[in-house]
Amino acid sequence: MALRWSRHRHAPVYLGALSVAESTVFPVPPDVMLAPMTLAQPPRWWRLALLTTICSVLGGFVGYALGHWALEAVMPWIERFGYADTFAHIQTLFEEYGFWIVLVAGFTPIPYKVFTIASGAAGMPLVAFGLGSVVGRGGRFFLLAGLIAWGGPKFEASLRRWIEWIGWVLALLAIALIGWLMWRHQAG
């Protein structure tokens, strides 16, 4: 259905709505619309990435609010979609690494909604959550759209095949960099 939406004249509205929903409750990532829309209009790649980023971050704030004020109501959905163990693990990590977790989460294939709701439930500072979301989600969507605009349809097909691995590699590199920076800070 998302691929069909990407060809509609109101596709940017659908992309924005999908981006908000994915950061809150919906299981389909906006990449499935961002990629074909970027292929259709390569010069608009940065506008599409910006729209996706803004809407994803706005949806992230909704997820944060759900975690902060309505965790009991949301928890059955988290359990229903099989994210309960992941949610519990992530929540414990927020105490120490909140900003960095949100930033890295923007690149991972793990559903972003898990991190937005966990951020609110853990009481993560809102400014740190917002900054981590903008950098993480923006990095992901601008990288995806930019690569597709640059590489075209053949590159998009390859990227679709490897996007999950790319997300994990970028996340691991970011974690390694963060660990190294923290080690240097403690050593110095």
- Structure-token match 């075209």, residue found: 152
pLDDT on residue 61? 97
Asked if pLDDT for residue 43 goes beyond 70, the answer is yes
Asked if pLDDT for residue 19 goes beyond 80, the answer is yes
Q: Is the pTM of this model over 0.85?
A: no
pLDDT on residue 114? 86
pLDDT tens-digit profile of 83-139?
A: 888 878 777 777 677 888 888 888 777 788 888 988 898 888 899 999 999 999 999
Task: Give the C-alpha separation, 3 to 12, whole Å.
Answer: 13
Q: Which helix (H) or strand (E) holds 48?
A: helix 45-69
By the 8 A CB rule, do 5 and 18 touch? yes
Residue 108 is given by DSSP the state: S
Taking residue 57's Cβ as centre, other Cβ atoms within 10 Å add up to 24
Structure tokens belonging to residue 32: 């499935």
pLDDT on residue 122? 85
pLDDT on residue 135? 93
Structure tokens belonging to residue 70: 């309505």
Residue 24 main-chain phi, psi, to 5 deg: -115, -60
pLDDT on residue 74? 77
pLDDT on residue 178? 67
| C-beta pairs of 72-75 under 8 Å, 24+ apart in sequence | 74/117
The domain ranges of the chain are 2-187
pLDDT tens-digit profile of 136-188?
A: 999 989 988 998 899 888 777 776 676 667 666 766 777 777 677 667 767 76
